[in-house]
Structure formats: C-alpha cells, structure tokens
Structure 1
C-alpha cells in the first residue's frame, strides 16, 4: 500500500509539471488575467491606486491553484475515479463561454448541470455524467479550501445602497471579493482521443481500485493519467462582517454542498435516477446558495451600516497610521484628540494642520470602548489612512439579484397572461 501512495504522489507531480507547459493551462491563465484586469480597473477607480500589480495577482492565484490542483489529483487517483476525458472537455468549453457572460459563472456546477441534462434528454452528446459530476464535487471541495485560505485577499471596499424592506433603503459599506484560480490537475481517463501528453497507469493497485468507474468500462480498457486544466472562481460581497469572516462562512457552506454532490454522484453510478438528481442538484443548489447569500447582503445586519452622526471605519490602509494604532474595520470613531467627530469633514478639519500626537476614542464592532494613541514628532501626521462610512456618502457599487431572473420572469409573465386570457 505504501508503494501505491508513493506512486500517486510521484506521478501526480510529474504530470502536473508537464501540464504547466501546455496551451490549455495558459488559455486559462490569460482568461484569469483578463478578469483580474477588470478588477484592477475597478480598484483604481475606488481607491485611486492598485495595492498589488496584475502580475502579482495572477502569479499568486496560479500558485494557489497549483496546490489546489495537486490536492484534486491526489483524491482522484487515490479513489480511482475513472472519467471519459472527452466528457470533461465539454465542461471546459461551456465554463469558458459562461465566464464571458458573467465571471461568477466560471463554475463547473453550471457547466456540468447543463451538459448532463442535455445528455440525459437527447442522449447526445454521450457524456459520462457520473464521472464529471463526482470530479466537480471534488473540485468544489478544494475550492472551499481555497476560499477559506485565499478568498478574502485583495477584497475591495465599496459603498452600496440596500433595500432592507419595501421602500426602506440604507447606505452601507461592503467588500467586493473576487478570486480566480487555474487548476492544473490529473484525472484517470479512458476513451482518450486528444493529442496532449498522457501516462499509462502501471500502479501497484489495491483490490478495491479503481473505486468509481463507468459500468460500460471493459476490463481490458487502458487507463491513462491525463493532465487537464480546470478553472474556479469565487465572487462574494462581504456586507455583514469583514471579508475574512464572510469567506470562511462561504467556504463552510460550499464544503457541505460538495459533500452532498459527491454522495449523489457516487450513487448515480449504481442508480440511474440519481444521474438526474445530481445533474439538477449541481447548478440549482449552487445558484440557491448564491441567491441566499445575496438576499442576506441586501437585508441582513452589517457592521458597516451607516448611522446618523457617526463615523464608521470601512477600510484601513496597510501600514497606515490607523493600522499602526490598531483601528479596525467596523470601528466607530468618537473623537480625535478630544474633539468629537460626527462627519467626515470633522476629521478633515483636524488634519488640515499636521498633528504630531493622536489620541483616538472608538467603539469596536462588538461595542467595546477603546482608546488608541500614536505619535510622530519628526514627520507629523497628515491623515489616518482610512475610508469611512457616513449617512451622506454616495454608493459606488450596485448589487442586483433580480437581474439574473429577468428572462425567467418575462417568460413566466407571458405564460400567466396566456392562461389568464384563455380562462376568460
């Protein structure tokens, strides 16, 4: 068994290394670069500068994706999940098209659901439904790990207007979180018909291996370790709390989703009905999670909610005076150097002349009072280095959950009118 484990580690690393030089990998990297470029432009508009270069973001996410791809490959090879690689390529192409429509659709749940349902209805293309769905489940589990560790990085502070109740609007701060990962990985493939470099599997195989394989797979079918590239994307809006807190909650929900999808996909190998169940569950459950989170974004409580006559901290620049003092997002600043502050103009007035000493009274997001101190007799202090939320601040980002249902609502409305008119 130890020989089996060692061969998996060795062959996975070798195959992924070769994949880094393939055109498939670089197509995904270029797509991710394009998406991060759009994010850079928005960050420039909001902050007036970019905190990290485009190259840094792409390299950082590529390294995280490389680690994620290695984990996916290890799980796939350990359990022996055999997939028709041509079926997986359908996911690749559909996901690319969906990503161009909307970046948040850079998710294999939607692509897997679409191609699986089409195959179930029309019997064309002949897709290995169970195989691709179980791989998608593993990808989402690894995605939950990436979100937990990496999802909050580079979050952009924004100001939004929320409709908490009918006719009641409120201004709030939030953080726009977007991360994209190229996932170079290895799957166990059969019916392989493309030209990429592959490795024939010659392992010391346990009696139970491979555990997941199509029923029509012949005993003498040659299995190949096939390097492929997947793409994962994460998009969320941190309204209730700081990005690190929200991304960890999202990671927890996504991990539960991935485990359920894995179970349904595993059952679909033996029970045909579960092919339908898993195929529909993947996109519907994933979209339901997104819409539930968006509903909370609009209607839930927020530590960044604007309040009358209060200065609330939304964002603290790295290495700024505020960061060195210990001011945190969600803090309400009560006074600076004994002067009460209730508007952003009050802070500007204090720093119209450089200060050499600061004494700040604030209340943190849990309601605890704190007093903070800072001094710089040599250079003086010209600002705190924060972005604040007040009642008069204008929104610079719009959230809209209903736009995703405009087409569906339009069709439903026409059907309703047709039935109503027919009845009368």
Structure 2
C-alpha cells in the first residue's frame, strides 16, 4: 500500500544512487566553472580573493540535494515518467543554451524547444504534457531554492540608469546540481503478482505507453538535472529580490503544470503549453526586471557619510 513514508524512503535511496552517476559529477564540474566565473566578477569588483569556489559549489550541491528531494516527491506523487520525455535531450540542450547566456541553463527553454520541434517536425518523439509537467515541477523546485538561497553570494555591481546616473546594485547568480528520482514504465504487472497499490487518482498525467494504465509496472530511476538563476537587485536587498523572484516563478510553474494537465486531456492545449514554457519564463523575467528598474534605486550616494555596498569576506571591514 502506498504511503508518504515509503515514497520518501525510496526517493532518498534513489537520490543516493544518482550521486554515484558520472553525469552528476560532470554537472558538478560545470556548476563549479560557473561559480568560478562569479568569483572572478567579485574579485574584479573588490580587488580581493572574492568567493571560494569549492565552498560555494559544495553549498549549492547541498541545496540541490534538498531541492531534489522536493522535486522527486512531486514527480512520484503526480506520476510523471521518463517514457517519452526525451530527458536525455533536456540537459545537453540546456548546457548548450547556457553557452549563449548563463540564464538559459533552464529546462523551460530546452523543454519548450524540444516540444516545438516535435510539433513542427515530429522529432524528437516526446510526450509533450509529461515534458512540460516535468519542467513545471523543476521550476517549482527552483523557486524553493531561490527563496532559501538565491541571495547567497550576491555580487556587488554598478548600473548605469541614465547617461549621468550610476547606482549600486547586486547581481544574483546561482547554479544547482539536482539529483532526482523519476519513474519509468517497464511493462505490465504479471498475472497474480502484487505491487504497491497507488491512489485512484494517480497518475495525474498518464504516460502515453501501450497497456492498461491500471496494470503498469513503474520503477524509480535516478537522473541528474541542473538549475540556474540570474537576477539583479537594484531597488531591493538581495534577500527581498530573491523572495519576489521565487513568488513569480511559483506562479509560472503552477500555470505551466495546469496547462500540462489540460494538454493531457485535450490536444488543443499542447501548443499553448509548449509556447508558454519559454515565453512564459521570459515574461516572468521581464516582469521582475521591470518592477526592479521601475522602482526607486536603493543603493545611491547619501548626503552624509559614505555608503558601503559590500565588504570582503573575513577582512577587517
């Protein structure tokens, strides 16, 4: 019989297995490279050592593991599978897009491109509602991670608002390796065999695989994902800016999951879900930046004394 405790135990074991996968350590290396670039930005600004790449990467991995637990439980509870999701394309495409801009290390873009390619050219063969629902869950995980750690390691910067006005700001850039556990349909339950009985509403978004949905056998499979976050705090503190971004991203993920659910019920919503994945994410970023640049800047010179934007870690300051 299904229970939350059983699901949590199975998810934890699967995630431990994901940590031994070579892909996880490749993703860890890519994340370390990104934190090296962030450290270089801070070093150029402060003229000192800046962030510690290894400790920043280790902290990101710890947060990523916690986020992976949340994402894995949501995947298991909603019944998303890797069958037809073309997960093997999602991460490589996201990494290629990251080379264009760090914020493109995001499955909303790679997932949306794969879905649109399927609709336009028939390749790759993917289950679009499942892909979009997976992207939605991963973005909810990202929102949680931004809420709790998006402000950590903020890098001070100067921003030119007009030709004669420069103000202080903080750039927020975070990257997380995410070990997760997903489901895979491996066949039908043999006659007379017993498995874990799931609730009647499960799965919310059925996998498009042959066979009786009530008689399919699922296994948990460890996989590795990566999430990235890029933002700027101009009118608010990094903590406040991260909270607002987390709220916006939560709204995006809930909307995308709702569209994915509707697309599984009605093909008319498939195009809408595929387009909303990249465009909705861009809109979320645009709304956030408009709210930040449209508000009164926080870090401006005062009439008395000197405003300190940031100090070097463990320095006399």
Please give the TM-score of this superposition, normalised by the length of structure 1. Answer: 0.68
Larger Rg, first or second structure (1 or 2) = 1
Q: Does 1:172 align with 2:167?
A: yes
Aligned equivalents of 1:149, 1:240: Cα separation in 2: 20
The structure with the greater share of residues assigned to helix is 2
Structure 1 residue 282: Cα displacement: 1.0
Aligned equivalents of 2:297, 2:307: Cα separation in 1: 11
Aligned to 1:207: 200
Aligned equivalents of 2:164, 2:204: Cα separation in 1: 54
Alpha carbons of structure 1 residues 292 and 86: separation in structure 2 relative to 1, 3 Å: closer
Aligned to 1:53: 52
The structure with the greater share of residues assigned to strand is 1
**Structure 1 residues 203-224: Cα deviation after superposition (integer angstroms, max 9, x where no partner):** 2322332232134442255422
Residue 133 of structure 1 aligns to a residue in which SS? Answer: helix
Alpha carbons of structure 1 residues 169 and 263: separation in structure 2 relative to 1, 3 Å: farther
Matches within 5 A, 1:312-331: 312-316=307-311
Q: 2:243 aligns with which of 237, 244, 248?
A: 248
Q: Does 1:257 align with 2:256?
A: no
Aligned equivalents of 1:34, 1:51: Cα separation in 2: 15
Structure 1 residue 132: Cα displacement: 1.1
Aligned to 2:191: none
RMSD: 2.2
Whether the aligned pair in 2 keeps the contact of 1:4 and 1:203 (CA below 8 Å) is: no
Residue 305 of structure 1 aligns to a residue in which SS? Answer: coil
**Structure 1 residues 347-374: Cα deviation after superposition (integer angstroms, max 9, x where no partner):** xxxxxxxxxxxxxxxxxxxxxxxxxxxx
Unmatched 5+ residue regions in structure 1? 193-200, 322-384, 386-424
Whether the aligned pair in 2 keeps the contact of 1:162 and 1:170 (CA below 8 Å) is: yes
Residue 30 of structure 1 aligns to a residue in which SS? Answer: helix
Aligned to 1:99: 98
Alpha carbons of structure 1 residues 299 and 169: separation in structure 2 relative to 1, 3 Å: farther
Alpha carbons of structure 1 residues 207 and 298: separation in structure 2 relative to 1, 3 Å: closer
Matches within 5 A, 1:345-364: none
Matches within 5 A, 1:192-341: 202-219=195-212, 221-306=216-301, 311-316=306-311
Aligned equivalents of 1:123, 1:45: Cα separation in 2: 47
Aligned equivalents of 2:41, 2:307: Cα separation in 1: 23
Structure 1 residue 320: Cα displacement: 6.9
Aligned equivalents of 2:270, 2:185: Cα separation in 1: 20
Whether the aligned pair in 1 keeps the contact of 2:256 and 2:273 (CA below 8 Å) is: yes
Matches within 5 A, 1:8-87: 8-84=7-83, 87=86
Q: Does 1:127 align with 2:120?
A: no
**Structure 1 residues 59-82: Cα deviation after superposition (integer angstroms, max 9, x where no partner):** 100010000011111111122223
Please give the TM-score of this superposition, normalised by the length of structure 2. Answer: 0.90
Higher relative contact order (CA 8 A, sep 6+): 2
Unmatched 5+ residue regions in structure 2? 188-193
Aligned equivalents of 1:318, 1:57: Cα separation in 2: 13
Residue 83 of structure 1 aligns to a residue in which SS? Answer: coil
Aligned residues: 309
Residue 151 of structure 2 aligns to a residue in which SS? Answer: coil
Aligned equivalents of 2:164, 2:84: Cα separation in 1: 50
